[in-house]
Every structure is written in structure tokens, then in C-alpha cells.
Copies of this chain bind each other. A is one copy, B any other.
């Protein structure tokens, strides 16, 4: 929970920004303008970028590494809304729906971000309806996903949600090899549990069960998916 090691500097690598779906379609001129108004931030694993309840109006794009967006209940339990990797954006909520940050963002690995202030974004947005639409699409996609999560919480049991989470992580961070899909998710089982809204123990048992069936192989902060078909079947 320590906060520290934050460094900022101007000037951000264009190429990585292009990875962000939101910015991928920009012409060079817009890109340069964007580029100029963004600054870079670095965090080490475990560092907190901002806390739920903080004020702040910056939008961040992950350049490298992974972060978790989490919320804490009144009695201290934690729940993860999402894991974000390179090219993904977060912090937009406070931009358009002013108010305190709705989640705490913590680096899951060492990570670097590009950030853009509310003011700069709006200035930069006005002349470019294409980008506005991109943002709308982005938010709409996130909303759709959030609704799916709700449905999963209501309809699926814990093993089902774990299976789904593994497949999702594999989709975004997995590398396919001969022996299966290697997924270095960098999450502890505790964090995985918070992501699917269950206790560490139950998630552990679900994972052990999948492993015993030969569907996955467990590694340190990683898994290898051996039978995605059965996993997917278990997920629905």
C-alpha cells in the first residue's frame, strides 16, 4: 500500500501510443499534438498510482506492464474491477463524470503510463469528432463488459468465473506454444480471487481441480492452458 517511486517526465514514445485502440487511427499531425501534451509516469510493482476517493482528472494509457483497478469495501475487503495491460486506458470516469476517483490503481508489475489532463483532452477533442466517437465506443465497450461481469456474478458459480477469468487473461496476455497457452498474469491467487469476487481458498480449490483434470498447469503467477475447450465449456 505504499505510495512512491512516481516519476514524471515529458515526451512519450509514439509507437506505444499507437497500440491504444483509441489513438491508433490518428493522423500524424494529431498524433504530434497529442504527444506533446502527454507526460510519462513510472511505477514499481505494488506502488499505488491513485486511491479510490482521491481527486484527480487525468486519463492514463498503459505503455508497459500491468495494473489492477480495485475498490475496497467499508470493512476492508477488496474487489478488482479489471486488470489493464499495454494499450489500455483508465481514469476516464473522473473525466466525464466529475467526482473523486472511483477505484484505486496499483501496479501489478513495474509499469509505465502516458497521462493526459482533462483540460488538454477536451481541448484536443473538440476539433476531432472521430476521437469523440472512439471514446464513446471505448466507454460503451467497457459498459458492455461490466454488464457481463454482473451477469456472471449472478449466474455462474466460482469455478465458472475462474475459468472465464483465465480465458480472458489468456486472450489478452497469453502466448500460444506447443504445450498450450502460456499466461503470465502476474497475479497472486489472492488477486485472482478478488478479480472474480470470491475467497482465495475457493479459487485455489477451483484451480487445483482444473489442474487435476489436466485442463491447466499452475505456475508462479502464471498458468498454462492445456484444454481451452473444456475450460470454455466450464465457463458457460
Q: A76 CA to B140 CA in the complex, in Å?
A: 26
CB <8 Å contact, B79 and A151: yes
CB <8 Å contact, B135 and A81: no
* Interface assignment of A149: CB less than 8 Å from any CB of chain B: yes
A155's contact among B79, B125, B144, B147, by CB below 8 Å, is which?
B79
A136 CB, min distance to chain B CBs, angstroms = 4
The 8 A CB mask of A64-91 against B (1 = contact, 0 = none) is 0000000101100101010000000000
Within 8 A of B (CB), among A110-159: 122, 125-126, 129, 132-133, 135-137, 139-144, 146-147, 149-151, 153-155
Q: A77 CA to B152 CA in the complex, in Å?
A: 12
Residue in B closest to A122 when the chains form the complex, CB atoms = B133
* Interface assignment of A103: CB less than 8 Å from any CB of chain B: yes
Q: Which residues of B contact A151 (CB under 8 A)?
A: 71, 73, 79
Knowing A129-B125, A150-B149, A154-B153 are in contact, say whether A93-B143 is a contact too (CB < 8 A): yes
Q: A187 CA to B195 CA in the complex, in Å?
A: 32
Q: A194 CA to B209 CA in the complex, in Å?
A: 31
CB <8 Å contact, A139 and B149: no
* Interface assignment of A236: CB less than 8 Å from any CB of chain B: yes
Q: Which residues of B contact A74 (CB under 8 A)?
A: 236
Q: A231 CA to B150 CA in the complex, in Å?
A: 24
Q: A137 CA to B97 CA in the complex, in Å?
A: 5
16 new A-B contacts, CB < 8 A, other than A79-B150, A146-B146, are A74-B236, A77-B154, A77-B155, A92-B140, A97-B140, A97-B144, A103-B147, A125-B132, A129-B129, A132-B132, A132-B136, A135-B136, A142-B143, A146-B150, A153-B153, A153-B154
Which residue numbers of A lie inside 8 Å of B, CB to CB?
A: 71, 73-74, 77, 79, 81, 92-93, 95-97, 102-103, 122, 125-126, 129, 132-133, 135-137, 139-144, 146-147, 149-151, 153-155, 197, 236
Instruction: Give 13 CB contacts A-B under 8 Å.
Output: A73-B151, A73-B155, A77-B154, A81-B147, A81-B150, A93-B144, A96-B133, A97-B137, A103-B147, A126-B129, A139-B139, A146-B146, A150-B153
